[in-house]
Amino acid sequence: MWNKAAIAGGIIGMMAILSACTSSDGVKAPHKEPEKSIIAESLEEEGFVENVGWLTDSEILTVATKDETTRLYKYNIYTGSQKTIFETGSSYVTSSISPDKKSIYVQTSPGSYLATVTYIDPDGRSIFEQDIPSYDISFAWNEFSPGEMLLTSFAEDWSFEVSLVDINNKNVSNLDIDQPFVQWKSDDAVIFQDWPKEDIALNAPLMEESLLDGKRTMIAENLIHFNQFSDSLMTIKGTDEKGIFEYRFLSPEGDEQSTFTQSLLSRYSDWLVPYYDMIEGKGRFLTFAANGKGAADTDTDGFSLKEWDIFSGKEKVLFTDLPLEPLTCAPKGNACLYGNQLEKVISLVNRNIIHLLSVKGAQL
């Protein structure tokens, strides 16, 4: 009965370059060159699997399959250049980029109930590889030490084992934690919601557990969702008004940074937390927000995309009517990959959406 958080996320850069020109009186005056343009419909639709995320403000990691081989390649959204960095003949499952952009997690399935997790650098050089017996896998990067990952492997009966993967030292060690969906709180502590193991619950307390001595501390009660970012801990809990929830941001020291409230749509056994992402280091939190209230399966009002400044408490609406689909942010926060396969780009500079896929797109 585990309530698995959906996360999603990201943003990409379209940078203006400042230069100088000479006026008629000989005084140099700065001016902006035109914004670089994202190339639309430049990825071939046939064989396309997904865009994984941002490697830099201009390069994304893309996955495509051709002739029973899955390839991961770097693609520049401004120039259209691409470079294959990894190939596999095993069944591809998923990939993820580390917070510092120095490691890439690639999960494949060479056989039933077996996963191979491979860590490579952005140029495709192998760092570490491990076979893990599993029916399914959940993982979380360490925001504070990106060379580490928490990895939870599930058996078919949903029993599980939580492991600490030290990528650089090529080591996997088991952790004695009785909740599967765990995130890092610091280099030596983890956090998780203490969900009941048998009954369905709408909320649960957020706990912190030391990896040094196993000591547990409750951080907050009655949360429906949380996420630990590098500079903020986000928590979501209900208010006195049904369907209205408070998003709260806490500093690493536990001080409140800001809060805001918004409506969430209900589902059969929980609440729908819309896709969101944080532009790390800038305090810019992007989230979809339901335009209406009620049940998710009957909603017809759609979603808006909003931005919340966690330091100033200011909110602005970016788009008023978009499909609810994942998004993930580039480091400088000028654009977002968006879509069920992250196949589109939202420009936060020009407030438009660029489609990357084309039937006649570039050859891989």
**pLDDT tens digit string along 273-324?**
999 999 999 999 999 999 999 999 999 999 999 999 999 999 999 999 999 9
pLDDT-based confidence at residue 207 (cuts at 50, 70, 90): very high
d(CA 287, CA 8): 10
Give 10 or 316, the one with higher predicted confidence: 316
> Same domain, yes or no, for 44 and 169?
yes
Please give the full DSSP string across 39-94, using - where no structure is assigned.
Answer: PSS-EESTTEEEEEEESSSSEEEEEEEETTEEEEEEEETTT--EEEEEEESSEEEE
Contact (CB, 8 A) for 99 and 88: no
Contact (CB, 8 A) for 103 and 86: no
Instruction: Show Cβ contacts of residue 241 under 8 Å, excluding neighbours closer than 6 positions.
Output: none
Parent domain of 275: 189-324
> Same domain, yes or no, for 223 and 194?
yes
> Same domain, yes or no, for 152 and 242?
no
> Same domain, yes or no, for 293 and 221?
yes
Give 360 or 113, the one with higher predicted confidence: 113
> Same domain, yes or no, for 134 and 241?
no
Residue whose C-alpha is closest to residue 363's, from 26, 80, 18: 80
Across the range 198-223, mean pLDDT stands at 94
Question: What's 122's domain CATH number?
Answer: 2.130.10.10
Sign (positive or negative) of CA dihedral 104, 108, 114, 116: negative
> Same domain, yes or no, for 157 and 62?
yes
Would 13 be classed as within a structural domain?
Answer: no
Domain count, the chain: 2
pLDDT at 6 over 60: no
> Same domain, yes or no, for 292 and 215?
yes
Structure tokens at 153: 């492997």
Would 334 be classed as within a structural domain?
Answer: no
> Same domain, yes or no, for 79 and 155?
yes
Would 24 be classed as within a structural domain?
Answer: no
Count of residues making up the chain: 364
Would 298 be classed as within a structural domain?
Answer: yes
> Same domain, yes or no, for 303 and 206?
yes
Predicted pLDDT of residue 197: 86
How does the average pLDDT of the chain come out, rounded?
89
The string of pLDDT tens digits covering residues 230-274 is: 999 999 999 999 999 999 999 999 999 999 999 999 998 899 999
> Same domain, yes or no, for 249 and 145?
no
The string of pLDDT tens digits covering residues 25-74 is: 444 444 444 567 899 999 999 999 999 999 999 999 999 999 999 999 99
The string of pLDDT tens digits covering residues 88-112 is: 999 999 999 999 999 999 999 998 8
The string of pLDDT tens digits covering residues 13-26 is: 322 322 333 333 44
Predicted pLDDT of residue 89: 94
Residue whose C-alpha is closest to residue 177's, from 196, 158, 190: 190
Cβ-in-10-Å burial (0-12, 13-18, 19+) of 225 comes to buried
Predicted pLDDT of residue 364: 43
Across the range 156-171, mean pLDDT stands at 94
> Same domain, yes or no, for 75 and 196?
no
The proportion of the chain whose per-residue pLDDT surpasses 90, expressed as a percent, equals: 84
Q: What is the pTM of this model?
A: 0.87
Would 15 be classed as within a structural domain?
Answer: no
Would 104 be classed as within a structural domain?
Answer: yes
Q: How many helices (H) and strands (E) in the chain? A: 0, 33
Would 14 be classed as within a structural domain?
Answer: no
> Same domain, yes or no, for 125 and 200?
no
Cβ-in-10-Å burial (0-12, 13-18, 19+) of 139 comes to middle
CA 294 to each of CA 263, 272, 300: distance values in angstroms, whole numbers, following the listed order: 9, 11, 10
Largest CA distance in the chain: 79
Name the percent of the chain in helix, strand, coil, to the closest 5: 0, 55, 45
Sign (positive or negative) of CA dihedral 31, 284, 184, 214: positive
Would 77 be classed as within a structural domain?
Answer: yes
Contact (CB, 8 A) for 180 and 195: no
pLDDT at 11 over 80: no
Alpha-carbon radius of gyration of the chain: 22
Predicted pLDDT of residue 358: 86
Predicted pLDDT of residue 18: 28
